[in-house]
Amino acid sequence: MIKACIFDLDGVVVDTAKYHYLAWKRLAAEFGFEFMEIHNERLKGVSRMRSLEILLEVGGINMSAGEKERAAARKNQWYVEYISEMTPAEILPGVTQFLDYLKSIDMKIALGSASKNAGMILERTNLASVFDAVIDGKKVSKAKPDPEVFIKGAEALGIFKAEECLVFEDAEAGVEAALSAGMYCIGIGSPKILQKAHKVIPGFQGVQPADLLRF
């Protein structure tokens, strides 16, 4: 029986991928190449530094560790400017209703995100008080597909049996992280990309909430 739900943030609760993309695109333009949407898929769910490394690979650019730190900080400055304008209207369709349902049945709810900016996004979208625990990029040392973020999320909720946890993820690395934690996982997005998940749905709009919890 599922006793806790752990949500990824970007791509599950809100669509911040578009802001990451704008900021990465701006950085690539400064380096003199075009970073296209097709490349952006590879950045979903992975850490900021790993994202930069993928971007540099796409552009065929080499950089020292110090230059990488500065480039990542620049990108983050732009990204923070974008997300500081976010509003609750940017919560993805059906998410608020599903969270309300989970609250009504006293389900424990955690956030398990790779982002170091999760706190600001939750504040801007008025979701900060909805989550009983928030594990973000500031609290983990190993990025997805390592299961650390979800294991810490379950522990923070006081749940110590992985099979009582259900993770919602939009990235392949995130699905792998949930499975290697021994948890159930529902993929949000394309069944082709998220085929390893126990179930895949396009989003929360129109779902029967109780059905999603049956495992």
**Where do contacts with Mg ion occur on this chain (CB under 5 A)?**
8, 10-11, 45, 170-171
Nearer to Mg ion, 2 or 136 (CB): 136
User: For ligand B16, which is the closer residue by CB, 55 or 102?
Assistant: 55
Shortest approach of ligand B16 to residue 213 CB, angstroms?
22
Query: Which residue, chain included where needed, has tokens 């791509």?
Result: 11
Catalytic residues: 8, 10
The nearest distance, CB 45 to ligand B16, in angstroms, is 5
Please choose which of ligand B16, Mg ion, none residue 125 contacts, taking the beta carbon within 5 to 8 angstroms, the exact cut-off set by kind. Answer: none
Only segment of 3-11, 99-107, 158-166, 194-202 that touches ligand B16 (CB under 6 A): 3-11
**Which residues does 215 contact at the CB level (< 8 Å), separation at least 6?**
2, 166, 184, 198
Per-residue x/- mask for ligand B16, residues 16 to 45, rule CB under 6 A? ----x----------------------xxx
In the complex, minimum distance from the CB of residue 161 to Mg ion, in angstroms, rounded to a whole number: 25
Which of 25, 47, 91, 154 contacts ligand B16 by CB under 6 A?
Answer: 47
Among 26, 68, 76, 146, binds ligand B16 (CB under 6 A): 76
- Whether the link from the prior residue into 191 is cis, omega within 30° of 0, is no
Q: How far apart are CA 206 and CA 53, in angstroms?
A: 38
Give SS3 for 199. strand
DSSP reduced 3-state for 97: helix
122: Cα within 13 Å, side-chain hemisphere: 22
Q: Is 68 in the site for ligand B16 (CB under 6 A)?
A: no
Look at residue 20 and give the partner it binds from ligand B16, Mg ion, none, a contact being a CB closer than 5 to 8 Å depending on partner kind: ligand B16
Among 51, 147, 162, 186, binds ligand B16 (CB under 6 A): 51
Sheet containing strand 133-135, strands side by side: 133-135, 108-112, 4-7, 165-169, 184-188, 199-201
Kindly provide the b/e burial profile for residues 189-214, where b requires at least 16 CB atoms within 10 angstroms of the residue's own CB.
Answer: beeebbeebeebbebbeebebeebbe
Within residues 147-176, the interface with ligand B16 by CB under 6 A covers 171
How many other C-beta atoms lie within 10 A of the C-beta of residue 171? 27
Ramachandran angles phi, psi of 89, nearest 5°: -65, -15
Q: Which residues bind ligand B16 (CB under 6 A)?
A: 8-11, 20, 43-48, 51, 76, 113-117, 137, 171
